[in-house]
Every structure is written in structure tokens, then in C-alpha cells.
Amino acid sequence: MSSDMPVIRYIYSLLLSGMLALNVHAQSGTSDTRMPILIRCDDIGMCHSVNKAAQEVLETGMPVSMSVMVPCPWFAEAAEMLKKYPNVTVGVHLTLNSEWKQYRWGPVAGAKAVSSLVDSLGNFFPSRSALFGNAPKLSEIETELRSQIEKAIRAGLKVEYLDYHMGAAVQTLETRMIVEKLASEYHLAISRYFDEQDMDIGYFAAPEHKLDTLTSHFRALQPGGTKLLVVHVGLETPEMNAMEDLNTFGPKEMSRHRNAERGALLSTQFQGYLHDPKYRLVNYHTLIMEKGLASLKRPPL
């Protein structure tokens, strides 16, 4: 962790206090004209290296949303970590895929209960096309997604929103309706249902260009709506170096990409942009408080 991290943490503790005050202003009808920036870190719990990188982000104190993968082997560590930080809004990263060659996972509900969602070894399929090529039953998709939400809640997490790993849970209108049904039942938000506008960190940009890509996109932001920055952080460790994506469309040298996204997010340069008074950092808890769950609206398919 960099030597200036304590300073950053202090600055964001002040920012977090300001964010909470803004919630009060919003409820009392006072408008805030600053541009909202929402950072969402995906795949938390996927592996130990991702969890450690996520902890570095949490240690800054900045408001952030983190989406946890409940079926993954390192979920328990992620849950214990996330409960320690008041600056994070926790979401369930609804998971129906297992994309790594030598590192696989299967359903929370059990392979026998949702047999149309798994391969011959009881693991999720690596891609959406493989999953839906197996004619998954809608009832089993609902069973599994519900099981993931329930397990997160049983682990003591305060779950406030849902999103979807690799888009599989919203592949069709029917599966999207299942996600919406569960969100309504558990009183949860859904990522991108607050009309957020995606801000690209450069997922396929070369690791050495991640920071330049992120900052150039940030400088080009135009007023209007909440800007959503989705990042996939990790550490470049032997654990992550050994992970190979079974999908040809995934970036190679995944650990370098994730480590570079972590570095770009925590860099002094990008943190400087976030301190600009024309922006304010929010998380999904902020949006729920300010807009309410009744304002959720399905984005274009």
C-alpha cells in the first residue's frame, strides 16, 4: 500500500461525512449540482487476490459499491471483510458462470437442485452461450439466484443491490424479470436501474494504458446523471497468474489487467480528479436514499 494512503483515507473520511450530510439535504429537498460518481468493484470473493485488492480500495474510506460472488470459494473471507467497512454498499453479483480453466465453482443450491445450469462435473458453464445452449430452466435460475441472495444475508451482509456476472442473469427478458422479481421481494436496488451512465476504465486496454484511459474518459465526462465506473481489481500474484479464462473474448494476462485497474483507481492522479469539488462520490446506498427504490427503471434491453 502506498505511503500516502493514510492521507487519502483521512480525506475520504471527510468526504464520507459530507456524503451523509448530502443525504439529509436530499431528503429535505435541497438539490446538489455536483456530478455523482459511483464506483462499483465487481467479483469480490472470487479469490484471495481480488479480496486483498478490494481491501486496499476500502481502506481509502471513499464511498464505494462492491458486488460479491456468493458461489465462489473465497466468499466467506469477502463477507467478513465487507462487514468491517461503513463506506461500502454491498451487492450480490448474481453468478451463473464459472469461466476459469482450473478454478471452477458451482451453484449454491446444489447441482442436483439446478441440474440444467451445470456441466457434467456440477460446475457452472464458462459462458452465457454455453449456459443457454443447455436450455436452462427458468425455475432453476430463480432457485439459484434466490439461494445466492439468501446465503449473503445469512453471512451477515447488509445487501442493498443486485447486479449480474457476465450478464448471464439478464440474458433474456424472462431471466431479467426473475432478477427484478427478486429485487422487489428482498427490497433491493438493481445496478443500472437508476439510469446510471457507464464510464469505461478501458477493460481491454493494455495494462500500461489503464490509467491514461481512465483519466482521459474522466476528463471527457459531461454533466447529467450518475456516472458508473465498473472496475475489476486484483493483485498480480501467483494465484491470479495461474488463472486462465476459458472464453476467447476475455483479456489475456488477467492478473496484470486487474492489478492495473487497482493501480489506476488508487493512483494519486485519479484520486486528484475525485477530489475536484464539481464531483461527489456516491454508492448505491446514497442513490437508494436520494431516489428511492420506487424510481428503479429497467434500462433498454
Q: For residue range 85-96, what is the model confidence (pLDDT) as tens digits? A: 999 999 999 999
Domain membership of residue 295 (yes or no) is no
CATH code of the domain covering residue 126: 3.20.20.370
Position of cell 437442485?
113
Query: What is the model's pLDDT at position 15?
Result: 45
Query: Phi/psi of residue 164, each to 5°?
Result: -150, 120
Domain membership of residue 234 (yes or no) is yes
Query: What is the model's pLDDT at position 19?
Result: 45
Domain membership of residue 223 (yes or no) is yes
Domain membership of residue 164 (yes or no) is yes
Domain membership of residue 267 (yes or no) is yes
Q: How far is CA 19 from CA 12, 26, 63, 87, 189, in A?
A: 10, 10, 8, 10, 19
Query: What is the model's pLDDT at position 103?
Result: 96
Domain membership of residue 215 (yes or no) is yes
Strand duo 227-231 + 279-282: pairing:
unpaired
> What pTM, to 2 d.p., does this model score?
0.89
Query: What is the model's pLDDT at position 41?
Result: 98
Looking at per-residue pLDDT, the higher value among 80 and 17 belongs to 80
Overall domain count for the chain: 1
Query: What is the model's pLDDT at position 251?
Result: 78
Residue 101 has pLDDT above 80, yes or no: yes
Grid coordinates standing for 220?
Answer: 471527457
pLDDT band of 32, cuts 50, 70, 90: confident
| Residue 39 host element (H or E) | strand 35-44
Range of the domain at 109: 5-9+35-290
Domain membership of residue 166 (yes or no) is yes
If we measure between CA atoms, which residue out of 150, 176, 147, 144 comes closest to residue 163? 176
Domain membership of residue 300 (yes or no) is no
